[in-house]
Amino acid sequence: MTEGADRVTSTAPSAAMAPVPYRVRSRVVESPDAATLCLEPLDAVLPAPQPGEFMMLYAFGVGEAAISISGDPTVTDGSITHTIRAVGAVSRALHGAQPGTLIGVRGPFGTTWGLDEAAERDLVMVAGGVGLCPLRPAILGALANRTRYGRLMLVVGARSKADFLFAAQLEKWADDPHIELHLTVDVPVQDWRGEVGLVTEPLRRLALRPDRTTAFLCGPEPMLRFGAAALLAKGVAARDIRVSLERNMQCGVGWCGHCQLGPLLVCRDGPVVGYDVAGPLLRVKEL
């Protein structure tokens, strides 16, 4: 069982299901439908989440949703950061929460990207759309401990230039010699001078040392499948490709079964899973 799962199962049921009040400290609009919220504790402070884990966020009077961590893992002031895309009633309420708003928080839950296990290896991180949000803590964590890793490669795809999240940070990374950044869009605009197409195109061109490469992928399931296929074709082992799965999580602790994917309960056994486990499941239609 993973470290994240150990943390959940050792938590008393009442504590695991009781939201802790946090206040919105700041809100930053990232794209037309996404905003980043920094939440600060009112009293009780939950354990610091690790890259890849998620929290259950409760919009009072509306409902609860599982939201990945998107903040800097080196921050130690007790705050937690989430980037939320407005797609449903709960996410719209969370997305629109202004500074001072109270939000209920449970967690952290789930598995991590496994940065420690990837030490001394090259890292390839591939993000499609809002998939950059769960990957951002892993990127920041790797940059904060840069000497622990070999090459650090980041491939990010979006529908258009306006849809890239963390635009200012992407510009900074583009000039940072410690990270190799590749950006691509589906729909080019007049002032776009970068790549056009799927994230698999720059991924296929990367020269990798397959036996020393660990890959993290996050995005829509077709992107996970095609991205993993491109890495497998280069000789990267399936167990060294880690993907973040998305399912309808309602309890966060593996009780309700809503997030079942074959033998997995994604909230407990994921969301980050090796492709040796996830690959066969993602090939089954409507599973």
Domains and CATH numbers, the chain: 20-109 (2.40.30.10), 115-244 (3.40.50.80)
The pTM score is: 0.92
pLDDT tens-digit profile of 81-107?
999 999 999 999 999 999 999 999 999
To the question of whether residue 251 is assigned a binding role by annotation, the answer is yes
Encoding tokens for residue 2?
């993973």
Q: How far apart are CA 66 and CA 49, in angstroms?
A: 13
Of 125, 133, 134, 202, residue with least CA distance to 163: 133
Look over the chain and give the mean of its residue pLDDT values, rounded to a whole number. 92
User: Is 256 annotated among the ligand-binding residues?
Assistant: yes
**What is the pLDDT confidence band of residue 5, given thresholds at 50, 70 and 90?**
very low
Tell me if 38 is assigned to a ligand binding site.
no
Residue 247 identity (one-letter amino acid):
R
What 3-state class would DSSP assign to 36?
Answer: strand
DSSP string, 241-282: EEEE-----SSSSSSS-TTEETTEEHHHH-SEEEHHHHHHHH
Binning the chain into helix, strand and coil, the percentages to the nearest 5 are 30, 30, 40
Measured distance CA(165)–CA(129) in Å, rounded: 8
133 assigned binding-site residue:
no
Residue 12 has pLDDT above 90, yes or no: no
The predicted pLDDT at position 14 comes to 57
CB atoms inside a 10 Å sphere around CB 259: 23
pLDDT at 10: 40
Running DSSP on this structure, what letter comes out for residue 84?
A: E
